[in-house]
Structure 1
Amino acid sequence: MAFSLFGNNKEQKEDAMPVKQNVVMVPVSAIMPNRFQPRQVFDERRITELAETIKEHGLLQPIVLREYEPEHYEIIAGERRFRAVNELKWDTVPAIIQKLSDDETASLALIENLQREGLSPIEEAQAYQALMKLNQLTQAQLAGEVGKSQSFIANKLRLLKLSQPVQDAMMAHEISERHGRALLAVTDKQQAKLLKRIMSDHLTVKDAERLIQRMKVKTKKKPTTRSVSGDTRVAVNTIRQSIKMVTDAGLPIEAEEQNESDRYRIIIDIMKKEKE
């Protein structure tokens, strides 16, 4: 995911010699987290595990900083490592200092995190949105820069249209991205109701999609009723009687009827019995 979009960096030649980067020791107290960090949730257990690894083997990869004021530094890459050495109470940490603008710092922080695992779908979508805004990119341009399809970027950005409670649940990995995509089909009020059901009953994506479909059928405006032919009426009554027979036999069934302009639709869900 190589970016060449940051200000004068567009003018750099591809065959330019790489600049040697010196590692220096920087006081931990002089370092602040990146203001543009896309990762909003850090797993404290994993930070502690990383701290134990660093304690045993040392910090194998320096963190990357920029000096935004004399002797004051901001993290560009390596916030998890910074948190780990803080936990170890280190006084100094090995670092590489780079000269970058605010926009460059923000973009590199976003890219560095997008290359790592663990970002929630919402954090990933927010990172793509921020990159587009910082670098004045269209979805197609961003897709080309990060090596993704435009539809991939568009689908990620659509997640930001979800209601805040749903986004929060995805951020905490309490529901999946596929759950979120399914919930895009209903209103914010309906999302809140369905979210509670999904989480309390541990519904699969398919279960959630069935619930959403039934909810949409119930809320759909009924069309003008047309007369039903005798044959159709017989067929509908036969199905109703069959549903009643199965229900009377003790098998739970949910049925939705819809009288449309050119057809009569009956949706039947046969519910699985819970184990006693």
Structure 2
Amino acid sequence: MVSIEAMFGLEETKETNVRELPVNKIYPYPNQPFMNYSEERLQELADDIKARGLDNPIVVRKINEHEYQIIAGHNRFNAVKRLGWNRIPVNIKELTDEEAMIYLVQSNLLQRTNIKESEKVKAYALRANALKKQGQKGQAKYNSLEKISESEQIKPRTLSRYIACNNLIPEFLDLLDEKKISLNIGEQLAKLSPEQQEKVANYLANSEHKLTLSEVKSIVENQDESLELEDLIGTEKKIPLSDDKIDKKINKILNQLTESVDYQIFLSQDSLNENKVTALLKVLIVEGIL
């Protein structure tokens, strides 16, 4: 995993900007994606700092002549404030807005354990947005999702699902944290408008139904047809796809397959033809497998 210091070429100057600053001149990063410690855990951290001192300075950047912004160390900062400290050791970094966001996200992902799924969703989305802005400004370093995938050791497809889930309403982010919906289901739900998501969330809350991937795909596919959720959720009440929708799905799959060399080889080796493939696809779609 790529270190934060290596990301910005700061290894050589890692400790040169360490100093003490007044606590009242330091401010938290606005709308940062990671939750602060609970009262109990924050008190434990404060007690530890009181007994052993602050092991590592917090990381800040200068935002004007006299004020600084926290980039890493929000919980340590809150703990020393609870202890009544007037000054705190800081490591001052010179970072652009985009670099500050990437640094904040990366430091938390590296140092924290038990990060919630909703925190990962917001963190990856913010970092991707920061990298996009870097690319627009001509900064080539770490300007692609592949770099996030590489540094976080996460598959690109999984990463894209996390980023897609940034469009989920809070109710579904909570369900993601509670493991009541999967990342795959969250990605599909994120294709709905906030109003449509609220409608689904209210239905699930009242019915205590556990949503399946095939059901949410059906909701997404039929979102413009004014169908009741009762018609789309639950196997007993679920309506079959129309022939037109089945044909559209088959054509979409075939269009993707025709671009595959492996598919062409598969057809020739097994003496198949597209009529047989089409018939198989129709069965899989009708049965809800595709």
- Give the shorter-chain TM-score range: 0.5 to 0.7
| CA deviation profile, 1:66-101 (whole Å, cap 9, x unmatched) | 122123111111111001111111111111112122
Which has the higher mean CA deviation after the structures are superposed, 80-89 or 210-219?
A: 210-219
Please give the alpha-carbon distance, in whole angstroms, between the structure 2 residues aligned to 1:38 and 1:151.
Answer: 21
- Residue identity (%): 23
Q: Which amino acid aligns with 1:101?
A: T
Q: Does the C-alpha gap of structure 1 residues 179 and 149 become closer, same or farther in structure 2, counting only changes over 3 Å?
A: closer
Alpha-carbon shift at residue 139 of structure 1 (Å): 3.2
**What pairs with 1:71-150 in structure 2 (closer than 5 Å)?**
71-115=66-110, 116-136=112-132, 137-150=143-156
Alpha-carbon shift at residue 161 of structure 1 (Å): 4.1
Alpha-carbon shift at residue 108 of structure 1 (Å): 0.3
| CA deviation profile, 1:132-188 (whole Å, cap 9, x unmatched) | 111114433431243322122023223234343212454xx4x22645644666662
Between structure 1 and structure 2, the one with the greater Rg is 1
Q: Which amino acid aligns with 2:87?
A: T
Three-state SS of the structure 1 residue aligned to 2:19 is strand
Greater per-residue helix proportion: 2
Gaps of 5+ in 2: 133-142, 190-195, 217-231, 244-281
1:21 pairs, out of 9, 15, 20, with 15
Please give the alpha-carbon distance, in whole angstroms, between the structure 1 residues aligned to 2:61 and 2:27.
Answer: 10
**What pairs with 1:57-68 in structure 2 (closer than 5 Å)?**
57-68=52-63
Greater per-residue strand proportion: 1
Gaps of 5+ in 1: 225-260, 267-276
Q: Does the C-alpha gap of structure 1 residues 193 and 220 become closer, same or farther in structure 2, counting only changes over 3 Å?
A: same
1:156 pairs, out of 119, 144, 162, with 162
Question: Is the aligned partner of 1:191 residue 2:201?
Answer: yes
Q: Does the C-alpha gap of structure 1 residues 182 and 210 become closer, same or farther in structure 2, counting only changes over 3 Å?
A: closer
Kindly indicate whether the alpha-carbon contact (under 8 Å) linking 2:172 and 2:201 is maintained by their aligned counterparts in 1: yes
Paired positions, count: 213
Kindly indicate whether the alpha-carbon contact (under 8 Å) linking 1:64 and 1:95 is maintained by their aligned counterparts in 2: yes
Q: Which amino acid aligns with 1:215?
A: I
Please give the alpha-carbon distance, in whole angstroms, between the structure 2 residues aligned to 1:197 and 1:179.
Answer: 19
Return the TM-score normalized by structure 2. 0.61
Question: Is the aligned partner of 1:215 residue 2:233?
Answer: yes
Please give the alpha-carbon distance, in whole angstroms, between the structure 2 residues aligned to 1:17 and 1:114.
Answer: 19
Kindly indicate whether the alpha-carbon contact (under 8 Å) linking 2:131 and 2:144 is maintained by their aligned counterparts in 1: no
The residue number in structure 2 matching 1:249 is none
Please give the alpha-carbon distance, in whole angstroms, between the structure 2 residues aligned to 1:5 and 1:61.
Answer: 15
Please give the alpha-carbon distance, in whole angstroms, between the structure 1 residues aligned to 2:88 and 2:5.
Answer: 30
**What pairs with 1:176-255 in structure 2 (closer than 5 Å)?**
176=179, 178-179=181-182, 181-182=184-185, 188=197, 189-195=199-205, 198=208, 209=212, 215-217=233-235, 218-221=237-240
Q: CA RMSD in A?
A: 3.6
| CA deviation profile, 1:22-67 (whole Å, cap 9, x unmatched) | 4311111110001252214542221111111111111111111112
Q: Which amino acid aligns with 1:117?
A: T
